[in-house]
Amino acid sequence: MANKSSITRRSFIKGTLAAAGGFFIVPRHVLGGPGRTPPSEMITHAIIGVGVMGLGHINYVKKDPQRKLLAVCDVDEHHLAAALKKAGPGCKGYKDFRDVLDRGDIDVLHNVTPPHWHTLINIAAAQVGCDIWSEKPMTRTIAEGRHVIDAVQKNKRMFRLNTWFRFRGKFYGLDCEVKSIKKLVSNGLLGWPLTVRVSPSTGFPWKASMWTGQTNLKPQPVPGHFDYDLWLGPAPVKPYHPHRTHRSFRGYWDYDGGGLADMGQHYLDPVQYILDKDDTSPVQIQAIAPWPTHPDAAGLWGRVEFRYADDCRIILDSGEWGQDTTAGKPYIEGPTGKIYKGFVTDPPVLKDVVATLPEPEPMVGDFNVSVKTRQKFGLNEVNGNRSNILVHLANVAIRTGRTLQFDPVSQRFTGDEQANRLADQPMRAPWHL
């Protein structure tokens, strides 16, 4: 399946026959069969960023007989050594992601770096012909999203974000599949417009305090096993401190956006899908949080409210600062129905009729299928960017401390240049879009 030096079933068999002096001797693994995948069907993978989450991606690849892991990459030698040990024979290690892309034999590139690297690596992967399996949030800023979309579509690549609740599995504290709620909404049983509340009270903890940045960091020497300059890449140069890197990078605006950015696409992408908002964004965003916010470290926040042009609302409450405004209230509420945590419905009959309702439009939930058939993955660069925008709208509202008006078409804030500067930030030279 490798995109530049692939071995087809025909050429592999032909080469084997020649080596055997013309006798029809073909190894069993070439023919396939139970428990065996022929080379022509194998999808080659590489993983960039092999910290805690990256090691999980190694598991994704290794447990699938259709996938083969050829390369892992990390700027931390300790991470790289652990990944190579986990990956096993046949996998090569790299420090610089560009060397991985230069191989020319990678079908799928997993981008498991911090978000400040997502955009550049995803674009580079698309340009060399790799399909992309990217961690969330899709980008670090709103403006970067269009650049990723352009690169993926111009180069005819497949793209998936590593969150899947819109199409499979129980959805956190709701104890039901997203499609059950989608069926009730699409068939008008909750009425319209709808209000969705995403908070610990409705089953969704935001990790706001877990990923709060520190504001009194003292510079420390860079460890010899860690290339801090390459880790920073397009981010501004700040004195090294271990809390700025690896898992706790989430607490700093230069690299991510706190617990809201960590969990946002997990929680909000299904909401966007339920509300049928995959092609639009809210027009008004309002946040309640400590203000002014720190210019470097992400901190606590209380409430964020999105309002769409049709008066649908999404309310986020962290439960970690100020009053929890969603306590005792339903997860989703309309004029004629409500759904609470645990999939408790009001009226109760709503839960009973779900099985009788038409199924939502099917979507591809297996990235192998997307790679082989060129059908878009269920959560791709287009609808994924819209839920990515939700995350960043919330953080821009928190950082500016005022109600914002947003144009879903231009993807810019109306009459607020400070907000637009947060939505479209420069990169450190020589890195650029």
Distance, in Å, from the CA atom of 58 to the CA atom of 87, rounded to the nearest integer, reads: 6
Q: Which fold has domain 9-161?
A: Rossmann fold (3.40.50)
Q: Indicate the pTM of the whole model.
A: 0.91
- pLDDT for the residue numbered 1: 62
| CA separation, residue 361 to residues 185, 237, 367 (Å) | 14, 47, 18
> How many H helices and E strands in the chain?
14, 15
Distance, in Å, from the CA atom of 293 to the CA atom of 394, rounded to the nearest integer, reads: 13
Distance, in Å, from the CA atom of 308 to the CA atom of 403, rounded to the nearest integer, reads: 14
Supply 54's token pair: 């990256």
Backbone angles phi, psi at 186, to 5 degrees: -65, -30
Place of tokens 């696409």: 265
Cis amide leading into 137 (omega within 30): yes
β-pairing, 337-340 vs 332-334, is antiparallel
Q: What is the dihedral of CA 321, 325, 328, 331, to 10 degrees?
A: -100
Q: What is the dihedral of CA 136, 141, 143, 145, to 10 degrees?
A: -10
- pLDDT for the residue numbered 8: 32
- pLDDT for the residue numbered 29: 37
Distance, in Å, from the CA atom of 288 to the CA atom of 275, rounded to the nearest integer, reads: 24
- pLDDT for the residue numbered 6: 37
Place of tokens 């520190």: 214
Supply 425's token pair: 């930030």
**First-last CA distance in the chain:** 30
- Helices 118-127 and 144-154 pack at an angle, to 10 degrees, of 10
Answer positive or negative: Cα dihedral of 200, 204, 205, 206.
Answer: negative
Distance, in Å, from the CA atom of 300 to the CA atom of 398, rounded to the nearest integer, reads: 9
Cis amide leading into 292 (omega within 30): yes
- pLDDT for the residue numbered 21: 35
Architecture in CATH for domain 172-423: 2-Layer Sandwich (3.30)
Distance, in Å, from the CA atom of 207 to the CA atom of 227, rounded to the nearest integer, reads: 29
- pLDDT for the residue numbered 324: 87
Which residues lie closer than 8 Å to 150 by C-beta, 6 or more apart? none
| CA separation, residue 291 to residues 13, 64, 400 (Å) | 67, 48, 8
The neighbouring-strand residues paired with 46 are 71, 109
- pLDDT for the residue numbered 109: 98
Supply 387's token pair: 């839920």
What is the residue extent of each domain of the chain?
9-161, 172-423
Minimal CA–CA distance to 238: which of 210, 215, 258, 262?
A: 215
Long-range contacts formed by 86-92: CB under 8 A, 24+ apart: 86/55, 86/58, 87/58, 87/62, 88/62
Q: How many residues does the chain have?
A: 433
The whole-number mean pLDDT for each consecutive block of 10 residues of the chain, a chain of 433 residues, reads 40 32 36 56 97 97 97 98 98 98 98 98 98 98 98 98 93 96 98 98 96 97 98 98 97 98 98 98 98 97 98 97 92 98 98 97 97 98 98 98 98 98 98 97
- pLDDT for the residue numbered 323: 86
Distance, in Å, from the CA atom of 253 to the CA atom of 298, rounded to the nearest integer, reads: 6
